[in-house]
A = this chain, B = another copy of it.
């Protein structure tokens, strides 16, 4: 079969993205990778920001492009990166999110049991490595931070990795929240390496500050936007209800891939024992979830039907955020009202009226420092170097309690 020699893709943000390496072109064409084109980067966020339909595939192409730029910058500063390392770190970033399932922040604990998307990325990479006869060995080593040059891993996963540089800019672009825009160009131009660690040249300090502020704002204005939370929890409730009905023996429409996971919810062991489990996971994407929810919205069990119709028609929960927990009394009163109105039990009303906690450190998985390199060779953490920000405030975990209920029950 005739194979492409190179490909040039159009990205609305960076313009052209050229890909020339044969192995990377084969990875792009692989069904595991193509699947990312059926998974939206921001889940249900488009219900609030109608432009936010971009996919994980776009993000994967974006980080690959940024990695090329970063390597070029580091080499221009006389840091040695071999051809093999270049290929490996590029593959590592290309595949860093390969394990994400549909709506993954939402469904990680509904579809599978105690299997994170990082675990799944490991499994997919392992499977690809078999298929490509070990050519991904070094990429996997870098991804797992087991390669001796640590800075390569840091390009893939750290406070200032290509992942964050791309997703902040991309999410800002597609949501239209201009304040989230960061200057990925400028930050990358100031990357440097000291003692095998990624650092930022002193002239990049303002860009890093801007990056930290932009990230924080994006959390509250987009990722943790209360209406987005309301939509995500509605989807969680729908799947919980579907599973409960399944456990009770009710027969439900579901696409085969969704049916498989709803009825089994496999854990790590299951993935390990049977190669087919991962193959089935590779078939699961946004389309399974939303096509099934739409069917549920039309017929069958009333609670599942009502919840599903609410999602399909964007009739989202009312949501309140506060700094303190809601009183049981308040919650119970709304539940009782809801139970009465919908003619369901108080227990069942928990699908419609519930409370939980969100916090921005959910997304803040790494606590690595960002080191600033001065011309005289000294290094300082950004928290010290910055006279503009109170970084300690920025890095403090903020938690909010929220209460969801039907709009008509408040």
Binding site for B on A (CB under 8 A): 1-2, 8-13, 15-16, 18, 20, 29, 31, 34, 37-38, 40, 46-47, 49-51, 53-55, 57-58, 61, 76, 173-179, 181-183, 185-186, 189, 206-207, 209-210, 213-214, 216-217, 220-221, 253, 255-257, 283, 285-288, 290-292, 294-295, 298, 312-315, 318, 387-390, 393-394, 398, 407-408, 410
Please name all residues of chain B whose beta carbon is closer than 8 Å to the beta carbon of A214 when the two chains form the complex: 210
Give A2 to B288 CA distance when docked, in angstroms: 32
Smallest CB separation, A276 vs chain B (Å): 12
Chain B residues with CB under 8 Å of A257's CB are 294
CB pair A298–B283 under 8 Å, yes or no, is: yes
- On whether the beta carbons of A34 and B314 are closer than 8 Å, the reply is yes
A387 / chain B contacts, CB cutoff of 8 Å: 393, 398
Residues of B contacting A1 in the complex (Cβ-Cβ under 8 angstroms): 407-408
- Pairwise interchain contact B50-A217, C-beta atoms closer than 8 A: no
- Determine if A213 and B298 form an interchain contact, defined as CB atoms under 8 angstroms apart: no
Q: How far is the CB of A110 from chain B (nearest CB, A)?
A: 18
* Cβ contact of A175, chosen from B8, B12, B49, B389, cutoff 8 A: B12
Which B-chain residue is minimally distant from A175 (CB atoms)? Answer: B10
* Cross-interface CB contact of A287 among B9, B294, B394, cutoff 8 Å: B294
**28 intermolecular pairs with C-beta atoms under 8 Å apart:** A2-B410, A8-B189, A10-B49, A10-B51, A10-B176, A12-B51, A16-B189, A18-B189, A29-B313, A37-B314, A40-B53, A50-B55, A50-B58, A50-B61, A51-B54, A178-B183, A178-B186, A179-B182, A179-B183, A179-B210, A181-B181, A210-B214, A220-B388, A256-B298, A257-B294, A283-B294, A286-B287, A291-B292
Point out the residues of chain B lying under 8 angstroms from A407, CB to CB: 1-2
B-chain residues with CB within 8 Å of residue A8 when the two chains form the complex: 189
Give the distance to chain B from A102, nearest Cβ to Cβ, in Å. Answer: 11
Q: Quick one: closest B residue to A309, CB to CB?
A: B31
Given A61-B50, A210-B213, verify A185-B16 contact (CB < 8 Å): yes
Q: Which residues of B contact A31 (CB under 8 A)?
A: 312-313
Give which listed residue, B11, B38, B286, B388, contacts A176 with CB less than 8 A.
B11
Residues A186 and B294 in contact, CB atoms below 8 Å apart: no
Minimum CB–CB distance from A51 to chain B (whole Å) comes to: 4
Q: Which residues of B contact A318 (CB under 8 A)?
A: 2
Residues of B within 8 A of A388 (CB): 213, 216-217, 220, 393-394
CA distance A2 to B315 in the complex (A): 11
- Known contacts A50-B58, A253-B255, A288-B294; can you find 10 more A-B pairs with CB under 8 A? A10-B51, A15-B178, A46-B55, A53-B54, A179-B183, A217-B388, A255-B291, A285-B294, A389-B390, A390-B393
